[in-house]
Structure 1
Amino acid sequence: MTAALAMSSLEAGGHASTEYRIGAQDVLSVLVFRVPELSAEAIRVDSSGSIDMPLIGSVPALNRTPGQLASDIQTRLGASYLRNPQVTVRVTEAASQKVTIDGAVNEPGVYEMKGRTTLLQAVAMAKGASAISNLRSVAVFRNVDDQRMVAVFDLGEIRMGRAEDPVLQGDDIVVVDTSRLSVVMREVISALPGLSIFRTY
């Protein structure tokens, strides 16, 4: 296991989300239907992970999907200011986030992601899996709220369209072919209840 991998980790349990998660310094478009004075064409997520909205003030945005953030804004506006507000949030500019790609790929390394990046796209950034790789066992490590988590994906099934292509998050670590991990980590992964599910370890 590489030093970077030994320090890595992941997110809360459950199936991997296919939606982009908002990051710090992303630029968002927030549209409040028929209320232009509460809308914003370009609002940047600050370093603390929040945006500042008229009337309702600071709203946490970090690691939320656009849909989740829109729902949060709707709830706050509806509580005190508007009746049945309709809010749409779009990511208009994604700040650079990094992903580490290791294992049986042609060019392992740390790569920049701009916007929504899936597992297949990340492996392609590393010039693809090597000829000796085991595509049925691709691990994604993530660190969220000090929780170490890992999920294993079958890249072959994803390529065939028979499995979902997960969206990566900033600072994820992808290891193609889990046989390249330490014995302890392989035992942890072999104990997972199923593919494509993030679990703590």
Structure 2
Amino acid sequence: MQSMGQRNQGSSPNMFLSPQLPYRRPVEPGRSFPEPTDLQQYRRTIPSEEKPSDYELFVSEKIEITETQLDVLRNFQGITFSNSPRPLPPGIISIPVRIVGRPEKEMRLEKSDMRDKQEKQEKGEKPREAMQGEARGPLREGDAGYLEGSLDAIAAAFKLLGIKSPYAITTDLKQFGYDLFRQPPYLFAPGDRVPVGPDYVLGPGDELRITIWGKIEGAWDIVVDRDGTIALPKIGVIGVTGLTFQELKTLLYKEISKYYNGFEMNVSLGRLRSIKVYLVGNAQRPGAYTISSLSTLVNALFEGGGPNKNGSMRDIQLKRNGETVVHFDLYEFLLKGDKRSDVRLMPEDVIFIPPVGPLAAVAGNVNTPAVYELKGEKTVSQLIEMAGGLNTIAFQGRIQVERIVENRRQTVFESDWETVKESEVPLEPGDIVKVFQVVQDRRVVRISGAIQREGEYGFRQGMSVKDLVSMSG
């Protein structure tokens, strides 16, 4: 007896007959298979240079500002720029700054700015005179110097321009987590060439690859039909929809064992089916999506752009057959890496994103300053811990809480970090918590002239001119 599709033509006559395997056309010269989805991420554009951290800026003792920001600062009353340090009157401080390149969008405006300057020159308008020691002419990227002015004036200007410094806290914050969904969806798509787990649930459209060897031999590539069944020669029709992959293997071995013995069996999955799910509520792009049957809740969220700014990140609901089966908190995933609630989706599942919950902000010197959605957080210390805690350069002696009281924004609390933790300062929706930065107390004296080592030296109580001259050689 001969069998179509037999692997071994010389095997015994009671072979297990199987249909001919489907013909797979070879790849034509000059053509290649489509690039796997999980490799497309390596085709991304190389990111730009990483911005320095707060601690790197603190150690460098410089503040980085753009050329445009410097132009604006020069127009502030009471603020000037100098290329070198110089004696200053009481109440005026000097801050070292480094000029960095303009953002691309600012470069587009440069030509129009130059035209405006030319028009002013044609009208006979003269630029203001620079004071002695002040920088003259345009500055270029990489230049450095000193901003001079009163502490209040510099702090107000830095806050307005969103410049990070020890003198002002920027409240230019974004809601936490939403920028994650600005990434291309394919970066988070499930791999199409990975083995499925034993808990994978079969459905119409899945391709099964069954191989048998031993006293009998055979091989099939079978697609689960619309009725959720497969048909095997002599075995007959078997219903498989709703079975897990592990249950399928057990069932197939049991059914074949009714007719044959002395065989080994291997079952794998070929092409997987697609399923339709629905993303509704406060989503960035609500609608119906056809996705891989391997997709999870997070995969579907990336397809739809995630929640919008009015949508909750902390109570995303998965509804199945009219019942809510999962409440998913994205903060658990983003802050702790916990994906236990990221379940695999089933056909006709509905993902509902309710409105965002109460919000509170933490600004300044924490590891992740942002606007956070509250869910069970009752104290200021819990909010700070959710923001990653205080960073290395945080001034633990000053934490401030601003709150809306009688329709006005007011400072309602100011104390040190230990008091905040011990007294469990209550947190209310709309609060803004500010954590200030340590300010270097540069107590130095400068010596120059006919000495061996001129420069700045640390000042101590009771220090005399003789001591200074001795240190400088």
Compute the TM-score of the two structures, normalised by the length of structure 2: 0.31
CA contact (8 A) 1:99 1:110 kept: yes
> Residues 138-153 of structure 1: matches in 2 within 5 Å?
138-143=316-321, 148-153=322-327
Q: Does 2:229 correspond to 1:55? A: no
CA contact (8 A) 1:49 1:62 kept: yes
Structure 1 residues 149-188: Cα deviation after superposition (integer angstroms, max 9, x where no partner)? 32123232244432322110111111123889xxxxxxxx
Max radius of gyration: which structure? 2
> Residues 23-172 of structure 1: matches in 2 within 5 Å?
23-34=203-214, 37-40=217-220, 42-83=221-262, 85-90=264-269, 92-143=270-321, 148-156=322-330, 157-159=332-334, 160-164=336-340, 165-172=342-349
User: Structure 1 residues 138, 80: CA separation in 2 closer, same or farther (over 3 Å shift)?
Assistant: same
User: Structure 1 residues 179, 132: CA separation in 2 closer, same or farther (over 3 Å shift)?
Assistant: closer
Distance 1:99 1:35 in 2: 45
Distance 2:345 2:285 in 1: 18
CA contact (8 A) 2:205 2:225 kept: yes
Q: Percent same amino acid at aligned positions?
A: 23
CA contact (8 A) 1:61 1:69 kept: yes
Distance 1:113 1:19 in 2: 18
CA contact (8 A) 1:69 1:89 kept: no
Q: Structure 2 regions of 5+ residues with no counterpart?
A: 1-196, 358-473
| Structure with more of its chain in strand, by fraction | 1
User: Structure 1 residues 36, 139: CA separation in 2 closer, same or farther (over 3 Å shift)?
Assistant: farther
Distance 2:251 2:333 in 1: 32
What RMSD, in angstroms, separates the aligned Cα atoms of the two structures?
A: 2.8
Cα drift, residue 111 of structure 1: 0.4
Q: Structure 1 regions of 5+ residues with no counterpart?
A: 1-16, 181-201
Q: Secondary structure at the match of 2:253?
A: helix
Distance 2:216 2:259 in 1: 18
Q: Secondary structure at the match of 1:39?
A: strand
Structure 1 residues 42-92: Cα deviation after superposition (integer angstroms, max 9, x where no partner)? 2111111001123321111212222221111012123442247433232x1
User: Structure 1 residues 83, 150: CA separation in 2 closer, same or farther (over 3 Å shift)?
Assistant: farther
- How many pairs were matched up? 158
Q: What letter corresponds to residue 205 of structure 2 in structure 1? A: Q
With CA pairs under 8 Å and 6+ residues apart, which has the higher RCO, 1 or 2?
1
CA contact (8 A) 2:318 2:325 kept: yes
Distance 2:263 2:355 in 1: 49
Task: State the partner residue of 2:88.
Answer: none
Higher mean displacement: 151-160 or 113-122: 151-160
Cα drift, residue 37 of structure 1: 3.7
Distance 2:250 2:352 in 1: 34
Q: Secondary structure at the match of 2:268?
A: strand
Distance 1:106 1:52 in 2: 44
Distance 2:348 2:231 in 1: 25
Structure 1 residues 83-102: Cα deviation after superposition (integer angstroms, max 9, x where no partner)? 47433232x11233210011
